Amino acid sequence: MQVFITGATGWIGSAAVSELLAAGHEVTGLARSDASADALRAKGARVRRGDLDDLGGIRAGAADADAVVHLANKHDFANPAVNNRAERGAVQAIGEALAGSHRPFVLASGLAFVTPGRAATEQDPSPFHGIDSMRGGGENLALEFVERGVNTVVVRFAPTVHGDGDPGFMSGLVAAARAQGVSAYIGEGANRWAAVHRGDAGRVVRLALEEKAPAGSILHAAAETGIPTRDIAEAIGRGLGLPVTSVPADQAGAHFGWLNKFYGADMAADSDVTRALLGWTPGGPTLAEDLDSGCYYR
Ligand SMILES: NC(=O)c1ccc[n+]([C@@H]2O[C@H](COP(=O)([O-])OP(=O)(O)OC[C@H]3O[C@@H](n4cnc5c(N)ncnc54)[C@H](OP(=O)(O)O)[C@@H]3O)[C@@H](O)[C@H]2O)c1
């Protein structure tokens, strides 16, 4: 398949591109800089230069492809409106380009605030609709295109896609612990995070693209259902040789900055349906193994 992928140079995207190329697919990645374009070419992928704000370019990239994976995200957590607008715009552009074609459209999504207090399943619809909701309501918008002849499959990634080189939430928590001199959790630290190793997440993207799941499916790239944030703080404390403490919820904003909103959230998720549909068995290290391996503290 000729696959157009946005976010191809990102943490998950670069793993997904390697997976797709190794499986014999041809990949064209969206690149907004020379460095990103060079990185893609070095791996054997083609390049479409462009930005998330260039919706004409995204539409053209999608129209030229047999399948589309959308992983790019501005991740401007201080400005959710900017993120939401870009996300919704890209989903709309890709959906319109693929309408009527029954070609696969794999969309990255998340688990934040989907079913707080219990593990989300793949049957739980996203409660987010419209541009002012989480991720601009992109998940529901992408699924609406199924009726218009797009083979949308949503992949909700665990809140930590971990591994050596992870620039995401775990690195943010390590940085916060270093800055504060303590590794902290919020309140009792009983809220849980699902987790998946990066390689296993990349494999979910490939399998989703290869139409192992029917159009309209929601998949969970979650190898571990839910790790209490207290356990995460304790592992980071071990790794950095720092004390571990609880921070009251009303002081967590000052302690963790923008991360607070996510670190205090309960984001557990099952993946039984995903495993069954894709034949996916995660094989990478667990979050605890990665946090104890030393790779987060260099
Ligand atoms: N990693 C996680 O733990 C996690 C968890 C849940 C959900 N997700 C979701 O999964 C998706 C992939 O995440 P990730 O961790 O791989 O993200 P990432 O490492 O931050 O990579 C983001 C990608 O988006 C591209 N990008 C950012 N702004 C862009 C713009 N204005 N125009 C074009 N491209 C732009 C980046 O390109 P450059 O290389 O040029 O910067 C990069 O390829 C995202 O939707 C994310 O929210 C991730």
Ligand 1 atom, smallest distance to 72 CA: 24
Distance CA 29, CA 21 (A): 12
Domain check: are 98 and 165 in the same one?
A: no
- pLDDT for residue 78 is more than 90: no
Domain check: are 143 and 239 in the same one?
A: no
Ligand 1 atom, smallest distance to 74 CA: 28
Judge whether 238 lies within some domain.
yes
Judge whether 297 lies within some domain.
no
Judge whether 96 lies within some domain.
yes
Q: Summarize the confidence of residues 80-92 as an average pLDDT.
A: 97
* pLDDT attached to residue 212: 85
| Secondary structure (H, E, C), 228-269 | EHHHHHHHHHHHHCCCEEEECHHHHHHHHHHHHHHHCCCECE
Q: 142 C-alpha vs ligand 1 centroid, how far in Å?
A: 18
| Nearest CA residue ID for atom 18, ligand 1 | 10
Judge whether 87 lies within some domain.
yes
| Nearest CA residue ID for atom 1, ligand 1 | 161
Pocket-testing residue among 154, 157, 263, ligand 1, by greatest number of atoms within 8 A of Cβ: 157
Domain ranges, residue 258: 161-194+225-268+276-292
Judge whether 94 lies within some domain.
yes
CA 34: distance to chain centroid?
24
Judge whether 80 lies within some domain.
yes
Angle, in degrees to the nearest 10, between helices 55-63 and 80-98: 30
Judge whether 10 lies within some domain.
yes
Domain check: are 185 and 149 in the same one?
A: no
Q: Summarize the confidence of residues 112-124 as an average pLDDT.
A: 96
Residue 129 sits at φ, ψ, to 5 deg, of -130, 135
Domain check: are 20 and 36 in the same one?
A: yes
Tens digit of each residue's pLDDT (9 = 90 or more) over 197-218: 999 999 999 999 998 899 999 9
Q: 10 C-alpha vs ligand 1 centroid, how far in Å?
A: 5
Domain total in the chain: 2
SS3 54: coil
Q: 31 C-alpha vs ligand 1 centroid, how far in Å?
A: 12
114, 156 contact by CB (below 8 A):
yes
Domain check: are 214 and 189 in the same one?
A: no
Domain check: are 174 and 123 in the same one?
A: no
Judge whether 14 lies within some domain.
yes
18, 43 contact by CB (below 8 A):
yes
Pocket of ligand 1 (CB under 6 A): 7-13, 30, 32-33, 36, 51-52, 71-75, 108, 110, 157, 159-161, 167-168
Q: 168 C-alpha vs ligand 1 centroid, how far in Å?
A: 10
Ligand 1 atom, smallest distance to 39 CA: 39
Whichever domain contains 245, its CATH number is 3.90.25
Domain check: are 148 and 8 in the same one?
A: yes
Domain check: are 133 and 179 in the same one?
A: no
Domain check: are 118 and 177 in the same one?
A: no
* pLDDT attached to residue 211: 82
Whichever domain contains 144, its CATH number is 3.40.50.720
- pLDDT for residue 105 is more than 90: yes
* Residue % of the chain over a pLDDT of 90: 98
Distance CA 120, CA 269 (A): 4
The length of the chain, given as a count of residues: 298
Domain check: are 59 and 169 in the same one?
A: no
Domain check: are 125 and 178 in the same one?
A: no
Say what the pTM is. Answer: 0.98
Q: What is the DSSP letter of 36?
A: H
Domain check: are 154 and 252 in the same one?
A: no
Q: 93 C-alpha vs ligand 1 centroid, how far in Å?
A: 18
Q: List the structure tokens of 75.
A: 């991740």
